[in-house]
Amino acid sequence: MRKVYSKIESISGNVITVTAEGVNYNDLAVVTSAHGESLANVIRMNGESVSLQVFSGGRGVSTGDEVRFLGHPMQVSFSENLLGRIFTGSGIPRDNGPALTDNMIEIGGPSVNPAKRIIPRNMIRTGIPMIDVFNSLVESQKLPIFSVSGEPYNELLARIAMQAEVDMIILGGMGLKYDDYLYFKETLEEGGAMSRTIFFVHTAADPIVECLLVPDMSLAVAERFALEGKKVLVLLTDMTNFADAMKEIAITMEQVPSNRGYPGDLYSQLASRYEKAVDFEGAGSITILAVTTMPGDDVTHPVPDNTGYITEGQYYLRNGRIEPFGSLSRLKQMVNKDSREDHRALMDGMIKLYAAYKESLEKKSMGFRMSEWDDKLLKYGDLFENQMMDLSVNISLEEALNSGWKILADSFTPEETGLRTELINSFWPKERILEKESN
């Protein structure tokens, strides 16, 4: 039986300090107050003075409350029983199911030895042309969705979750609006995907420390499933809330802030989570898609900025569409050479023409006269936006490529596309050629 301490010396924000012996760094404790029990973990030790962050927050904790150390760091249960279940950031059931305590595993474990990693090689098809054709998602990739509040980023995540060819989904919600939480739940239930999904959800109303635990809980579980051969897709939303929670604790601990109040280790903290994305040779994989809202739509804000330095590209979601410019999948070249022979060329060619369309559009808005070429580009841009960029479009990669050729043929002559002759010969829609000849 471990010793119970009943004198809390200081309470500041979500951090309490007790005098205790025989405690180890990062250990877990149970704090019992009038409002019930909460977990807490050790974040600093100085002599016998031990500081802990209380998962349910410092509010309502009194100096006479009990602190009982458990002698181990934070853990989560790992088994098939997790599937279909919904938990809080500290692993307590949010649904009406039983608490799970079998096979407890530690969270925030060591990183994968770089020498054991392999080069990513499989595309994850999503049915979204702006992803599949232009910035393919690759198994084991870590990729953020940069967006601003009000954009349908959670709808996008839910849709990818429903359609992606993966074995299971782990949703980590941080500061999620309750409605959004229900939306995810309903969408996955309706789509029949709930039985291969696990939720770790911290909603905006929940204590802030639990928000900090969500990525580690989600990824620790993902890692075990991946080692057992599962292709796991981890969806995290919103990582900016996670960073803000870190900021709050750092300020309580009187750490010197580095940039707009964020702690100096923001990069390392984010990286240690994102780097959990991996493809295990001979087993499964973890792919991470993470919403990062940009305060003030500013990509140089510390959270999106540090994220960009860590992840393997990014999708910009703006005006309800994935932007072709700025969005980048750094791993796409690993997979788009083997998909279909016209994939790369069509991807490049269509983007170049879309850039030219943007220029024509600008000229038009400045009142310059439109040439015949400008008019063609304007038509093309319209088709492109409606048939490729619109998020309601839901087609396979092959259909999307065919649709791309059709858009080109509706707008241009073959020579105007700048595409190689062999490709034109094999892929230019046949009826167009006949039409042209008969004209």
Partner 1 sequence: MAKNVGKIVGINGNMVSVETDGQVSLNEVGYILVGEQKLKAEVIRITGKRLELQVFEATSGIGIGNTVELTGDLLTVELGPGLLTQIYDGLQNPLPELAEQCGFFLQRGIYLSALPRKTEWDFTPSVIIGDTVTNGDALGTVPEGKFDHRIMVPFGLKGNYRVKEIKSPGKYTVDTEMAVVEDENGKTHSLSMMFNWPVKRAITSYAERLKPVKPMISKIRIVDTFLPVSLGGTYCIPGPFGAGKTVLQQVTSKHAEVDIVIIAACGERAGEVVETLKEFPELIDPQTGKSLMERTIIICNTSSMPVAAREASVYTAVTLAEYYRQMGLNILLLADSTSRWAQAMREMSGRLEEIPGEEAFPAYLESVIASFYERAGLVRLRTGEFGSVTIGGTVSPAGGNFEEPVTQATLKVVGAFHGLSRERSDARKYPAIHPLESWSKYSSIIDSNKVEYARDVLFRGNEVGQMMKVVGEEGTSIDDFLIYLKADFLDYVYLQQNSFDPVDAAVSVERQEYLFDILLDVLSGKFNLETKSDARQFFNRLRQSFLDFNGSEWQSDDFKKLEKNILEMINDKKIGKLEDTGIFQKV
Ligand X SMILES: Nc1ncnc2c1ncn2[C@@H]1O[C@H](COP(=O)(O)OP(=O)(O)OP(=O)(O)O)[C@@H](O)[C@H]1O
By CB under 8 A, tell whether 115 contacts partner 1.
yes
CA proximity to 160, closest of 284, 343, 288, 279: 288
275 binds, among ligand X, partner 1, none (CB under 5 to 8 A by kind): partner 1
Q: Annotate each residue in 302-331 with x if it binds ligand X (CB under 6 A) or - if it does not, as one string.
A: -------x--------------------x-
Q: What is the amino acid identity at position 434?
A: L
Q: Would you state the structure tokens that stand for residue 19, as one six-digit string?
A: 């005098």
Residue 340 Cβ vs ligand X, minimum distance, rounded to whole Å: 20
By CB under 8 A, tell whether 271 contacts partner 1.
yes
Region near partner 1 per CB under 8 A, out of 19-27, 83-91, 230-238, 396-404: 19-27
Residue 365 Cβ vs partner 1, minimum distance, rounded to whole Å: 14
Question: In Å, what is the CA distance from 433 to each residue of 34, 403, 406, 438?
Answer: 79, 16, 12, 9
By CB under 8 A, tell whether 264 contacts partner 1.
yes
Cβ–Cβ under 8 Å, residues 288 and 275: no
**Of residues 43 and 310, the one with the C-beta less far from ligand X:** 310
**Distance (Å, whole) CA 36 – CA 69:** 16
Residue 273 Cβ vs ligand X, minimum distance, rounded to whole Å: 16
Cβ–Cβ under 8 Å, residues 41 and 48: no
By CB under 8 A, tell whether 328 contacts partner 1.
yes
Region near partner 1 per CB under 8 A, out of 147-155, 231-239, 296-304, 404-412: 296-304
Q: Annotate each residue in 225-244 with x if it binds partner 1 (CB under 8 A) or - if it does not, as one string.
A: --x-----------------
**Distance (Å, whole) CA 246 – CA 270:** 10
- Dihedral of alpha carbons 245, 88, 107, 119, sign: negative
CA proximity to 51, closest of 37, 38, 67, 65: 67
CA proximity to 260, closest of 236, 243, 239, 237: 243
Residue 253 Cβ vs partner 1, minimum distance, rounded to whole Å: 9
Q: Would you state the structure tokens that stand for residue 234, as one six-digit string?
A: 């981890």
**Of residues 309 and 368, the one with the C-beta less far from ligand X:** 309
- DSSP secondary-structure letter at 75? E
By CB under 8 A, tell whether 370 contacts partner 1.
no
Residue 300 Cβ vs partner 1, minimum distance, rounded to whole Å: 3
**Distance (Å, whole) CA 85 – CA 247:** 30
Q: Would you state the structure tokens that stand for residue 401, as one six-digit string?
A: 């490529």
DSSP for 232-249, written as a single string? EEEEEE-HHHHHHHHHHH
Residue 389 Cβ vs ligand X, minimum distance, rounded to whole Å: 21
**Of residues 330 and 432, the one with the C-beta less far from partner 1:** 330
Residue 43 Cβ vs ligand X, minimum distance, rounded to whole Å: 30
By CB under 6 A, tell whether 363 contacts ligand X.
no
Residue 22 Cβ vs partner 1, minimum distance, rounded to whole Å: 7
Q: Beta strands 328-329 and 313-318: pairing type?
A: antiparallel
Region near partner 1 per CB under 8 A, out of 179-187, 209-217, 320-328, 390-398: 320-328
In DSSP terms, which residues pair with 198 in a beta bridge? 170
CA proximity to 54, closest of 73, 30, 36: 30
**Of residues 177 and 330, the one with the C-beta less far from ligand X:** 330
By CB under 8 A, tell whether 414 contacts partner 1.
no
Q: Report cis status (omega within 30 of 0) of the bond before 238.
A: yes
By CB under 8 A, tell whether 116 contacts partner 1.
yes
Interface residues with ligand X (CB under 6 A) are 309, 330
Residues in the site for partner 1, rule: CB under 8 A? 21-27, 44-48, 73, 109-120, 227, 255-259, 263-265, 267-268, 271-272, 275-276, 280, 300-302, 305, 308-310, 312-313, 325-326, 328, 330-331, 368
